[in-house]
Amino acid sequence: MAAPHLLHKDKEFEKYNYLRQNLSNSYKFMNKNSLKWMAIFVVIIPVSGVYFCYSHEGKYNHIGSKRTKPLWDAEFVPR
């Protein structure tokens, strides 16, 4: 059997447990500010990135502009 002992409650730990269990009472997940940031990061930035990429597709040859000599000295034959 275990020896008898006193279990002392930690006030800060009890406070943390109470706040953790009642998080929905003290924090609003969907307020106006969070909805604005969600719209920016989930909708506006990805859509503008896709639009920019598709509008510039095939206009620039980045590899050809940097290469000054052929990739292979002789004709390449795969084995």
pLDDT tens-place string over residues 45-67: 999 999 999 998 888 877 777 77
d(CA 38, CA 43) in angstroms, rounded, equals: 8
Give the span between the Cα atoms of 48 and 2, in whole angstroms.
Answer: 65
Cα 17–chain centre separation: 28
Q: Are 70 and 76 in contact (CB under 8 A)?
A: no
Tens-place pLDDT, residues 22-45: 887 767 667 777 888 889 999 999
Alpha-carbon distance 45 to 53, whole Å? 12
Model-level pTM greater than 0.75? Answer: no
